[in-house]
């Protein structure tokens, strides 16, 4: 099924699949291709409207019976770590960060496999091979970085890879596309640390937001995002403070869903007309 705005791009809807976050639900995505010389403008504009990037595609959940997937971002200027997060920062302070061009390595893939096998062995990415992994990292038409985190010293002077995040640089923030880390280091809270460090990267760069992907009320997998202060969610066509996380359960009701055509009609596209001298 295809829905088209008066000007490009064209938007499509995927077939329903089992929801990975809420039992008994089916997910469906609204998506469009991300390509050409205006890719960065489109990525910037649609990220502000709840879309996410996956390789050369921008997508947003558009389920028939639910609209619980709410895009979340941290306001960098107002963020204050809580007591537990401050401990996480201190514990991982020796970690060395390096941001590189989006290029996949065998070392990254080995860590990725350990992470999936331990945390998401039944997920949609569980069977991803090294070529698919490389495509996930490298196929990007926008400004992206691979942020690696290494321990300062391992055996025989090595610096083992502990965590990785594929990150897009938007005009108003950093979008954490996908992150993975050493699954056995539970006490180090590496997933939380990656987010905390991205807040600091954004602060140093003068960027106001860190985009975390989707927060889903009622999902244990996504509950950790609500523990970050200064968290906003995209709801009802606008960004708003999350407030009480328990107040958003109505988003799981089927009557909260607008028709696809109305959703597409409300999307604001960037002005891609050439500037005349």
pLDDT top residue among 3 and 100: 100
What would the pLDDT profile of 8-35 be if each residue is shown by its tens digit? 689 999 999 988 888 888 899 999 999 8
Q: b/e string for 77-101 if b means 16 or more Cβ within 10 A?
A: eebeeeeebeebbeebeebeeeeee
Answer yes or no: is 233 within a domain.
no
Q: Tell me how far apart the alpha carbons of residues 89 and 104 are, in angstroms, rounded to a whole number.
A: 27
Taking 50 as the threshold, does the pLDDT of residue 183 lie above it?
Answer: yes
For residue 40, tell me if it sits in a domain: no
Q: What is the number of domains present in the chain?
A: 1
115 domain-assigned: yes
> How do residues 202-227 score in pLDDT, each as one tens digit?
999 999 999 999 999 888 888 899 99
Cα separation, 261 vs 202, in Å, equals 35
The pLDDT value recorded for residue 152 is: 82
Q: Do the domain assignments include residue 55?
A: no
pLDDT over 60 (residue 246): yes
Q: What is the pTM of this model?
A: 0.91
Distance CA 237, CA 199 (A): 24
**Any domain includes 87:** yes
Q: Is residue 261 part of a domain?
A: no
What per-residue confidence (pLDDT) applies to 6? 45
In whole angstroms, give the CA distance from residue 59 to residue 46. 9
> 106, exposed or middle or buried, with CB in 10 Å at 0-12, 13-18, 19+?
exposed
For 147-172, how does the pLDDT look when each residue is reduced to its tens digit (9 = 90+)? 999 988 765 657 899 999 999 999 99
Q: Is residue 264 part of a domain?
A: no
Residue corresponding to tokens 């070392």: 107
Q: What share of the chain is helix, strand, coil (3-state, %, to 5)?
A: 35, 25, 40
Q: Is the pLDDT of residue 123 over 70?
A: no
pLDDT-derived band at 45, boundaries 50, 70, 90: very high
User: Hey, CA dihedral for 178, 159, 145, 171, is it positive or negative?
Assistant: positive
Is residue 276 assigned to a domain?
A: no
Say what percent of the chain tops pLDDT 90. 68
Domain limits at 188? Answer: 72-213
How far apart CA 212 and CA 203 sit, in angstroms, is 15
Distances (CA, A) of 268 to 11, 54, 83: 13, 20, 39
- How buried is 209 (Cβ within 10 angstroms: 0-12 exposed, 13-18 middle, 19+ buried)? buried
> Which CATH number fits the domain that encloses residue 146?
3.40.630.30
User: At a CB cut-off of 8 Å and minimum separation 6, what does 259 contact?
Assistant: none
Predicted confidence band of residue 190 (pLDDT cuts 50, 70, 90): very high
Find the DSSP H helices in the chain.
Answer: 39-47, 83-91, 106-119, 130-138, 190-205, 260-265
């Amino acid at each position: 099924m295809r829905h088209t705005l008066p000007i490009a791009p064209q938007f499509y809807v995927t077939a329903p699949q089992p929801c990975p976050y809420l039992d008994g639900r089916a997910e469906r995505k609204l998506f469009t291709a991300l390509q050409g010389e205006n890719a960065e403008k489109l990525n910037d504009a649609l990220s502000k409207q709840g879309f996410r990037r996956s390789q050369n595609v921008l997508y947003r959940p558009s389920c028939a019976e639910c609209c619980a997937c709410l895009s979340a971002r941290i306001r960098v200027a107002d963020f204050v770590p809580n007591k537990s997060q401050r401990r996480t920062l201190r514990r991982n302070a020796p970690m060395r960060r390096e941001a590189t061009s989006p290029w996949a390595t065998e070392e990254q893939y080995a860590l990725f496999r350990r992470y999936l096998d331990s945390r998401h062995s039944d997920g949609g990415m569980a069977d991803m091979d090294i070529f698919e992994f490389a495509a996930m990292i490298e196929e990007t038409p926008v400004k992206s970085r691979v942020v690696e985190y290494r321990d300062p010293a391992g055996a025989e002077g090595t610096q083992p890879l502990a965590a990785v995040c594929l990150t897009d640089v938007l005009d108003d923030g950093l979008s954490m596309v996908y992150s993975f880390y050493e699954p056995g280091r539970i006490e180090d809270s590496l997933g939380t640390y990656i987010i905390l460090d991205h807040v600091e990267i954004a602060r140093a760069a003068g960027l106001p937001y860190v985009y975390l992907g989707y927060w889903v009320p009622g999902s244990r997998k996504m509950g950790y995002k609500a523990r970050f202060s200064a968290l906003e969610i995209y709801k009802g066509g606008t960004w708003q403070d999350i407030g009480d996380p328990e107040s958003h359960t109505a988003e799981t009701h089927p009557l909260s869903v607008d028709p696809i055509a109305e959703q597409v009609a409300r999307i604001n596209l960037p002005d891609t007309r050439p500037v005349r001298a």
